[in-house]
Chains A and B, each alone.
Chain A
Amino acid sequence: MSEKNYLTTDYTLRSWLLTTDHKRIAILYFASLIFFFFIGGAAATAIRIELATPQADLVSSDIYNRLFTMHGIIMVWFFLIPSIPNTLGNFMVPLMIGARDLAFPRLNLMSWYIFMLGGCTALFAILAGGIDTGWTFYTPFSSLYSNSYVIVAAAGVFIAGFSSILTGLNFIVTIHRLRAPGLTWYRLPLFLWSLYATSVILVLATPVLAITLLLMATERFFGVGIFDPRIGGDPLLFQHLFWFYSHPAVYIMILPGMGVINELISCFSRKPVFGYKFVAWASLAIAGVGFLVWGHHMFVSGQSLIASLVFSFTSFIVAVPSAIKVFNWTATLHKGSLRFDAPMLYALAFIGLFTIGGLTGLFLACLAFDVHATDTYFVVAHFHYIMVGGMVTAYFGGLHYWWPKITGRLYSEYWARTAAILIFFGFNLTFFPQFILGAEGMPRRYHVYPPEFQVWNVLSSGGAVILAVAYLMPLVYLGYSAFFGARAPANPWNAPGLEWQTSSPPPEENFATQPVVTREPYQYNEAFEAEPQNA
């Protein structure tokens, strides 16, 4: 390694903290997100251990409520939403479009600082005594009744929102303006289509969250009647505003994961993604229709029955593009040449788990069943299948896939496959029993519960311990690889994407010469396979 790469240009702390290199900023995000992931994960583990018995034995109700609130806030805003876009996206977007950097490198660095300011504010709220409103901040509980650090935590989320908006803006402009010559929209890797759709939601939905939290803070601080009926407000107004952001936010969390899966499935089947245009437009369809489904969180809230009818219908509609993607991924495998490296194991796990999560989403979109299942463990299981089984699995898959490019090192394939399989089993053991608990009627956010629910809770808690260990494993073998792993070639997977045409790790300027794109993406055909790679 005689040439300098982005990691070796400068070793000072200052060079990291003041960098405008998208690759280094991605690493900054990556380090921050690992930190938040393990805080949120620790809270989850504590919750599951507490729930192993029906009584309260580990923590008091007050602490329990603070634990699940912290788990939710940290995982949603400080891990899932920034996870793939701000790490893999930040690193890969310029590389995949053949650009030197994002359109606004300084804005990119600023968005990390804003994110950290938000994250530290939220951490301060937790350390100062915690917050017990649930991540949804439902009023009037949050605005008047809760005796905890609501304002501080909400401020953290509010601040982090600006980081989301700036990242979304940066990606949109970059993908519009900085594509390499010849890289038309339909030659873009599908990962970029899904990041583009994600960015549109980030820019359009996040301001509504900011407004909602400001209104809640106004009521809490100044007693202005907005959401509390005793002073003339309407509690359901909060839910409408909150879910107008937070349902699209679900798609912020899953779309990048879907994008990663396209790259993995096609690379390890040695085939182009089946139905490229349908998959590409499905991402934008999800982003668009996703704005029209928020009322499905309120089927039992007393909103008008007609409103429920409309929201149920749109919720079924938004499932169609997701179904299209699953069918196309499966068709991509047909007559491929399948290799089961660790990233592919994650991709296959994603398809299975995401489909279970998606199908149970239809259960909940179905009005009459939702009346029974909403606010029970059925919902908890459903969204963990999407968020953890889907998004986190895709994140790990993408991380392993691009790891050689990011670090310039190879990891232990044996340990990577072992961890992937262990995560899959631990995950299912943790969350599948929760579907049964929910169908039997166990409400969520219950610290103590009737004893007949114990069997499934014990299984779930056992799974959570396995899952916690499995999530720690990559920290060890990837950590080892980052410093002691074998050097990676420029293109270890023989993939045709632009990001593989520069060295691993890439030089600071990404490409020595401006790449020019002359073909469709995912050209895993005979001509390509015959080309000498890593020459």
Chain B
Amino acid sequence: MWRDWIPFWRPGLSPQSGDVDLLFAGLLIASALVLGLLFFLLILFCVRYRAGNEIDRGHRTSKSWHWEVSWTAASFVCFLGLFVWGASVYFEMYKTPTDELVVFVVAKQWMWKTQHAGGQSEIDALHLPVKRPVRLVMASQDVIHSFFIPALRLKHDVVPGRYQDIEIEIDRPGHYHLFCAEYCGTEHSGMIGEIVAMDPADYSHWLTQQAPASPLADEGGALFRQLGCSGCHGNGSQVRAPPLEGLYGKPVPLSDGSTVIADDKYIRDSILLPRSQIVASYQPLMPSFEGKVTEDQLLRLVVYIKSLAGRPS
């Protein structure tokens, strides 16, 4: 296998990481050629044209446009090729994730908190089934962190104030490093965890073994009532608020005439900054929950509202 030939390099463990490894090999070969040629010429010239050496120094190559244009064009064409190659793999890595299996990741100084849809939660660890695309929805409670799994050649910053989602897929069972790659304060280097990739059967077994608090959607529902959301958005409310049943994934017409799709980011924004996107024909009555809910609570609310998608309003 060619990937084993790169010195000090363990092959990546996902479909995309194979492409990254190939790209890395290509970059290494291109650099080796350029460096080899350059060092060959430098050494050759240094030996041949050293001051004491009697050698023909006549007929110097004149400064002509030909040389300049040739090496400029050659560099440009090589660079263009590498650019296209790198970009195509990048778009594949960061493609819009499928929504089959979702895991929530909350980053805070200095830990990774992961939440499975069934309510199982982990600290600095993430158990996943192999050979199955998993969508990670990530949020930060405080500063910028970065979710980095070297074995998958995959990294994404977790910036506070927004959701980031990426898709990951692991080919082989095993234990892999999870690092925080963006400097986040005192214990930055302690913000490391473990990715545990398991066979699907083992994963199902592991899920049932964990004592789930309760499914995230149920917890979100409880929060929904506790925070008073149901007072306006619930059935039979006196206040006229947009109904949330059947909302998720549907287009929402806004008062400024535009339309947005009600996805995780939209719901999150509507809770934190309700006045930024007013649903058409509704009054801007809702108070902001900025600073009143944690990222953990937010993602439960989002999961709850998402779970209402199937219900008729």
Q: Determine if B51 is an interface residue (Cβ-Cβ < 8 Å).
A: yes
Contacts of A371 in B (CB 8 A): 20, 90, 93-94, 153-156
- Which residues of chain B in 158-195 are interfacial with respect to chain A, using CB atoms and an 8 Å cutoff? 159-162, 164, 177, 179-190, 192
Bound form: Cα–Cα A234–B49 in Å: 58
- Which residues of chain A in 373-390 are interfacial with respect to chain B, using CB atoms and an 8 Å cutoff? 374-376
Once the chains bind, are B72 and A324 in contact (CB under 8 Å)? yes
Bound form: Cα–Cα A271–B291 in Å: 68
Q: Determine if A514 is an interface residue (Cβ-Cβ < 8 Å).
A: no
Q: Determine if B307 is an interface residue (Cβ-Cβ < 8 Å).
A: no
Q: Determine if A369 is an interface residue (Cβ-Cβ < 8 Å).
A: yes
Bound form: Cα–Cα A371–B148 in Å: 9
A57 to chain B, nearest CB (A): 14
- Of the listed stretches A109-117, A298-306, A472-480, A491-499, chain B binds A298-306
Once the chains bind, are A300 and B82 in contact (CB under 8 Å)? no
Contacts of B75 in A (CB 8 A): 319-320, 323-324
Contacts of B177 in A (CB 8 A): 441, 450
Bound form: Cα–Cα A327–B67 in Å: 9
- Of the listed stretches A27-35, A158-166, A250-258, A274-282, chain B binds A274-282
- Of the listed stretches B34-42, B127-135, B230-238, chain A binds B34-42
B247 to chain A, nearest CB (A): 24
Once the chains bind, are B9 and A62 in contact (CB under 8 Å)? no
* Contact A330/B143 with A275-B67, A335-B60, A446-B188 known, Cβ cut-off 8 Å: no
B46-77 vs A, CB cutoff 8 Å, 1 = contact: the mask equals 10011100000100110100011001100110
- Which residues of chain A in 291-315 are interfacial with respect to chain B, using CB atoms and an 8 Å cutoff? 299-302, 305, 308-309, 312-313
Once the chains bind, are A348 and B42 in contact (CB under 8 Å)? yes
* Contact A443/B49 with A312-B87, A324-B75, A448-B190 known, Cβ cut-off 8 Å: no
Q: Determine if A41 is an interface residue (Cβ-Cβ < 8 Å).
A: no
Once the chains bind, are B86 and A366 in contact (CB under 8 Å)? yes
A100 to chain B, nearest CB (A): 34
Once the chains bind, are B68 and A447 in contact (CB under 8 Å)? no
A430-461 vs B, CB cutoff 8 Å, 1 = contact: the mask equals 00000010011101111111100000000000
* Contact A443/B179 with A324-B71, A449-B189 known, Cβ cut-off 8 Å: yes
Contacts of B19 in A (CB 8 A): 368
Task: Pick from A324, A333, A372: contact of B42, CB below 8 A.
Answer: A333
B199 to chain A, nearest CB (A): 25
Bound form: Cα–Cα A234–B161 in Å: 8
Number of A-B contacts (CB under 8 A): 241
Contacts of B155 in A (CB 8 A): 300, 371-372, 374-375
Contacts of B109 in A (CB 8 A): 145
Once the chains bind, are A132 and B185 in contact (CB under 8 Å)? yes
Q: Determine if A90 is an interface residue (Cβ-Cβ < 8 Å).
A: no
Task: Pick from B68, B71, B143, B180: contact of A140, CB below 8 A.
Answer: B143
Q: Determine if B122 is an interface residue (Cβ-Cβ < 8 Å).
A: no
4 shortest interchain CB distances as A-B pairs: A229-B161, A441-B150, A366-B86, A368-B89
A145-B185, A367-B89 given; name 8 further pairs at CB < 8 Å.
A138-B182, A228-B160, A302-B159, A302-B164, A351-B38, A371-B154, A374-B155, A449-B189
Q: 18 interchain pairs (CB within 8 A)?
A: A138-B144, A138-B183, A141-B185, A145-B185, A309-B87, A312-B90, A333-B42, A338-B46, A362-B79, A366-B86, A367-B86, A368-B86, A368-B153, A374-B155, A439-B9, A441-B150, A445-B188, A447-B189
Footprint of A on B, CB under 8 Å?
Answer: 8-10, 19-20, 23-24, 27, 31, 34-35, 38-39, 41-42, 45-46, 49-51, 57, 60-61, 63, 67-68, 71-72, 75-76, 79-80, 82-83, 85-94, 109, 142-144, 146, 148, 150-151, 153-157, 159-162, 164, 177, 179-190, 192, 290-291
Footprint of B on A, CB under 8 Å?
Answer: 61-62, 65, 132, 134, 138, 140-141, 145-146, 228-230, 232, 234-236, 269-271, 274-276, 278, 299-302, 305, 308-309, 312-313, 316-317, 319-320, 323-324, 326-328, 330-331, 333-340, 348, 351-352, 355-356, 359-360, 362-363, 365-372, 374-376, 436, 439-441, 443-450
